Structure formats: C-alpha cells, structure tokens
Copies of this chain bind each other. A is one copy, B any other.
C-alpha cells in the first residue's frame, strides 16, 4: 500500500477563503496598486486551481519522495532528486505556478502576499520537501531583484523567476550555525571587479540537485580585511555553473557538493554541504554595488524564509489534522465512555464519537485555524503596507504588525505544528506509527521547522530583545489595542461574553509580562530575560491566536443568523465558534500560568552549575 502513489493531502479551502475574504477582507485592497491586476475572482480561481493541482499532481508524491530521498554521487559531486519529483517540477512550471509570486516586471503575476501564502500552503502541505526548492528560488531571485545592479537583475531575474534556474541562500558554516558573525568564508577581489570565493557552507537547502541547469547561490562571505562579526559580511551571487556572455550555462564555477545530510524528514530536500573554491576557481559577484551590506540584505530573504517556515509547519499540521478527522469518521472501535457508564446498549462506533478523540480533533482544529489566522493576518498587513505606499505612516503601522508577528509565526507554528502532528498520530493509534498512513511523515517533516531559519530561541530573542522595544513598545501596543477593542465590544455579550473576558484577562497577563521584562532589565536581572523568552513568545502567540479565533467566531455567528442549519456553511461557521471556545477555555489558560512562572523569577536553571549536570561529554 505504501508503494502506491496515493494523495493524502487534504487542503482546508473553506477556512482559507473565510480568513481571506470574511475575516481579513483582502478584497478591500485587491484591485488597488500594486495589486491592480488582481481581483477577488482571480484570487478565488487561483486557490481553486492550486487545490486541483496539488491534490492531483503533488500530494500523490509525498510518501514517494520520502522513500526515495536524494542521492549524492561523491565522484561527480552532484545530487539527483527522485525522478518523479523532477517531472513534477516541470509540470509546475508548465502550468505557470512559478509566476504567481514573481513581479510583473519579470513576467510574473505579482500576487498579493495573502493569496500567494495561501497557495503556498497547498504546495507545502502536499509535498513540503519539494516546495522548499521553489520557495528558496523565489527568495533568492527577490534578493537580486531588490538589491542587484541593473545588469544582475537583467541576467538573473528573468531566468530565476522564469523557472529556468533555481537559487539558494548560503549562510551556515560548520562552526557558525546560530552565530552567523563567525562566518569564515572569504572573498578576495579580482582585478575585473569580481571576487574569488573560498569556504564551506553546510545545511544548504536545495544546494545541489538536477532539477535545473544552474543554481544561483546567494552566499555570505567576508571580504579580505573586512570587520569581524556580522557587519563585515557581504553577500555574493555565486552561480554553480559559470554563465557565458550570451547567458547560456558554461563550465563549473568550482562549487562542489561534498555531501548531503541523512535526515529525520524532508528527505527529498537536498541539504547540501557546498565547497566553494576548492580549486581556487570560484567566482562570486557582489550583490549590488556596496560591500559589507550582506547581513541586512540577507535579512530580507531570512524574514521571508521565517514566514515560509511557519507556513510550512502549518500546512502539514493542517493536513495531519484533516487526515485524522477523516480517519476518525471511518474507524470503528469501542463505545463512548458515557454510553458504557450509563449502560447504554449498542454497537461499536466510529471513533469520532469518543470523547477523547473529539478533544484531540478539536485541539488540532483550533490550533491549526489559529495558526493559519496568524499567518494570513501577517500577510494581509504586508499587502496593506504595499497598498498604502512605501514610507507612508499607514504603511509603517502595517509593517509593524508584520515585524511583530514574524517571530510568532516562525516559532509558535513550528512548535505547535509538531504537537498537532503528534495528536494526529495519537488519533490513528498504532496505525499512526506506520508508513501506510501519512501522519508519521508529517511529524518527521515538521520537526525541522523549529530548527532552521534561526532556532525558535533566536526567534524569541528577536521578539523580546528587538520587537518589544521597537518604537518604544509601539508594536505590542497597537496589537493590544486591537485586542482590547474586541474584548470591550463583546464582554457584555451573551454569546461571547465570558470568552471575551477571558481573552481580556490573558491579554493583561501578557502585557504584565512585558512589564516584567522591563523590570528585569532595569534591575540588572538580565539572565531572567532569555530564561523566559521562549515562554513569552508562546504567551503572545496564544493571546493573538485566541483573539483571531474570537474575531472569526463573531463573524461566523453573524453569518449563521441568515442560514439554515442544513446549510453546509452553517456547519463551517458553527465549527469556527467551537474552535474559538475550545482554544480560549482549554489552551489560553496556559498564558496566566506562564505569566505567574515568569513573575516568580525562578533562576534554578542559572543557579545549577555546569558540573551539577552529569559529567558526560559528546561522542
């Protein structure tokens, strides 16, 4: 059974349409520059087509690419991907999907981020390992588009956006994972203005493969004599193959793949070790015309990648959840506890009737919907900034949300996506552990998300160390004001009153904790800040998810009034209300607990000496 090409991918079209058009109302800005070419109908059609393509052509390959993985040929220094994945990449381009997110200038559709991210959810959910290649290519192309010289844009953008060449980001080195400033790759300027690149990069996603004629690496390296640390880094365009004057692909540029990692999951994503300039023949081109701007340039791609990482976790968690729902509807096993306790006679039931299964399904449902709301809210704010126009006050306000939500999307979604996949396995029971069913792969594939593009601790430092203080706390303040407004509107409400109040209280705990951080800082208790950072990120994400779920529930409740109970949409809206309630009543209480723990200032983890841990070494 596991050898067949069966689609297990289940998209949640209705929830995505709800968020885009009913909750975040992207139609209010569709049709306006820069999205003038993009109407609501276009968005709906694209989403519909993406679902068809991903469930027919992509989801069928997910377990196949997991089985096959990538193969490295040490002799040739090349990597081959599973053959059907190569074919999929061709179909993807034939169908023009690569153009969705590309700028109009280079023949693309320049879709709003909210729409393109929704569509990315389908691609990533259907086959995450494969979807990474196109996501990274787009990010690399966008770096050149934004920062490149005219010649660089003219050379690379059409080919990368156009699907001919692909791209990567090359940051990590063996000694420098989280600490990019210790990068050792070097660049020496040649007489012709190019640079000779030398160094080793590891963990490079899509670093080598056979789905394209050329791979354009965007690599950080230090120019001879530049400062230490991150500020001395520059970003270089380093093609795998040299490019002839006519734009055709020439000889090797001395970028050799020395190996690929054997990983827990995303096995068809080639995670490469790349040696640059082993033969002193690797040429790099400074991105743009300024040296030592590498880190700030790379951060554009890094921020996109962080959002993409969260979305990737969400996409698989959502399909894991929906597969669990489908399984629970069909698997017959036992009687519900309440029926046994009351001596009710009857046959065994489908497990969706078991109380604990419902609890798990609803926990998955509300988390997935909260996570998706967080992601699409972020995207819609970015789009609104673009519509407001660069540099405008409105735009900077909108971008404030994007900045605040980025670490939440990266870290909370990757942590909780893993939890959701764990619950999905639990719903399947023993079948969840075997490869005939899709959930164990989701669990393995998701685990990478908390690690790459900056570990989740690094995200929490970004939140606590930078975003909280930005503009004197303006980013949190505007989010807190939004939440307070919703609470005030509904706290006397018959339907949502108690839940609105609970949200208001949780918000109080969250803002109280931001005050705690200030106190820690003022009192010189600096160690308490990183000790609490990951938990605080979770608190803020939970409050924000609860807020978005409640906002959605209010909308759903209104819409239900005009529908009959037999209407399919009625069921969907009722489900949204249950999601909000379950999250607020079962997940949100953790916010208060975390606030109390943080306020208690426990320093045991600091007080314990290194040698109080067992004296084991690494192998």
**Interface positions of A (Cβ within 8 A of B):** 2, 6-8, 10, 12, 14-15, 172, 175-179, 182, 203, 261-265, 271, 322-323, 325-327, 329-334, 336-338, 341-342, 348, 352-356, 358-359, 361-362, 365, 418, 422, 425-426, 429-436, 440, 443-444, 447-448, 450-452, 455-457, 460-461, 465, 521, 524, 526-527, 529-531, 533-534, 568, 571-572, 574-575, 578, 581-582, 585-586, 589-590, 592-593, 596-597, 600, 602, 604-619
Candidate in A361, A534, A585 with the most chain B CB atoms within 10 angstroms: A585
Cβ–Cβ contact B444 & A425, under 8 A = no
A454 shortest CB reach to chain B, Å:
10
Once bound together, how far apart are the Cα atoms of A164 and B211, in whole Å?
54
Instruction: Give the number of times this chain occurs in the complex, counting copies.
Output: 2
Candidate in A10, A15, A451 with the most chain B CB atoms within 10 angstroms: A451
Q: Give 29 A-B contacts (CB < 8 Å), ordered by A residue.
A: A176-B333, A177-B333, A177-B431, A179-B333, A261-B435, A263-B434, A323-B619, A325-B616, A326-B616, A336-B527, A337-B461, A338-B527, A338-B530, A352-B610, A354-B457, A355-B531, A355-B605, A356-B460, A356-B531, A365-B613, A426-B451, A426-B455, A430-B451, A430-B452, A572-B614, A575-B614, A578-B608, A582-B605, A590-B593
Point out the residues of chain B lying under 8 angstroms from A600, CB to CB.
585
Cβ–Cβ contact A530 & B356, under 8 A = yes
Given A425-B451, A619-B6, residue A329 in contact with residue B597 (CB < 8 A): no
Q: Can you list the 7 inter-chain pairs with the closest CB atoms, starting with the nearest?
A: A337-B530, A338-B526, A575-B612, A355-B530, A264-B440, A578-B608, A585-B602
Once bound together, how far apart are the Cα atoms of A6 and B582, in whole Å?
47
A522 shortest CB reach to chain B, Å:
12
Once bound together, how far apart are the Cα atoms of A577 and B348, in whole Å?
50
Point out the residues of chain B lying under 8 angstroms from A465, CB to CB.
337
Cβ–Cβ contact B527 & A348, under 8 A = no
Candidate in A332, A358, A435, A596 with the most chain B CB atoms within 10 angstroms: A358
Point out the residues of chain B lying under 8 angstroms from A356, CB to CB.
457, 460, 530-531, 533-534
Point out the residues of chain B lying under 8 angstroms from A606, CB to CB.
355, 358
Cβ–Cβ contact B435 & A264, under 8 A = yes
Task: Name the one of B15, B354, B432, B529 contacting A451, with C-beta atoms under 8 angstroms.
Answer: B432
Given A358-B608, A597-B586, residue A529 in contact with residue B264 (CB < 8 A): no
Cβ–Cβ contact B418 & A433, under 8 A = no
Cβ–Cβ contact B341 & A526, under 8 A = yes
Once bound together, how far apart are the Cα atoms of A616 and B502, in whole Å?
32
Point out the residues of chain B lying under 8 angstroms from A334, CB to CB.
178-179
Candidate in A14, A418, A450, A608 with the most chain B CB atoms within 10 angstroms: A608
Given A8-B619, A179-B334, A608-B358, residue A614 in contact with residue B447 (CB < 8 A): no
Cβ–Cβ contact B440 & A425, under 8 A = no
Point out the residues of chain B lying under 8 angstroms from A619, CB to CB.
6-8, 323, 326
A523 shortest CB reach to chain B, Å:
12
Cβ–Cβ contact B611 & A571, under 8 A = yes
Given A337-B529, A605-B355, A618-B329, residue A450 in contact with residue B430 (CB < 8 A): no
Given A178-B429, A348-B182, A418-B422, residue A574 in contact with residue B609 (CB < 8 A): yes
Once bound together, how far apart are the Cα atoms of A431 and B521, in whole Å?
33
Cβ–Cβ contact A263 & B433, under 8 A = yes
Point out the residues of chain B lying under 8 angstroms from A332, CB to CB.
175
Point out the residues of chain B lying under 8 angstroms from A2, CB to CB.
262
A600 shortest CB reach to chain B, Å:
6
Cβ–Cβ contact A530 & B354, under 8 A = yes
Task: Name the one of B15, B172, B612 contacting A430, with C-beta atoms under 8 angstroms.
Answer: B172
Cβ–Cβ contact A617 & B330, under 8 A = yes
Task: Name the one of B329, B533, B608 contacting A610, with C-beta atoms under 8 angstroms.
Answer: B329
A436 shortest CB reach to chain B, Å:
7
Point out the residues of chain B lying under 8 angstroms from A179, CB to CB.
333-334, 348
Residue of B nearest to A3 (CB): B262
Cβ–Cβ contact A326 & B617, under 8 A = yes
Once bound together, how far apart are the Cα atoms of A527 and B457, in whole Å?
39
A315 shortest CB reach to chain B, Å:
15
Point out the residues of chain B lying under 8 angstroms from A329, CB to CB.
610, 616-618
Point out the residues of chain B lying under 8 angstroms from A447, CB to CB.
422, 425, 433, 440, 443
Cβ–Cβ contact A433 & B451, under 8 A = yes
Interface contacts beyond A15-B614, A322-B614, A589-B597: sample of 7 additional A-B pairs, CB < 8 Å, sorted by A: A177-B333, A261-B435, A261-B436, A262-B434, A336-B527, A426-B456, A433-B451
Point out the residues of chain B lying under 8 angstroms from A578, CB to CB.
604, 607-608, 612
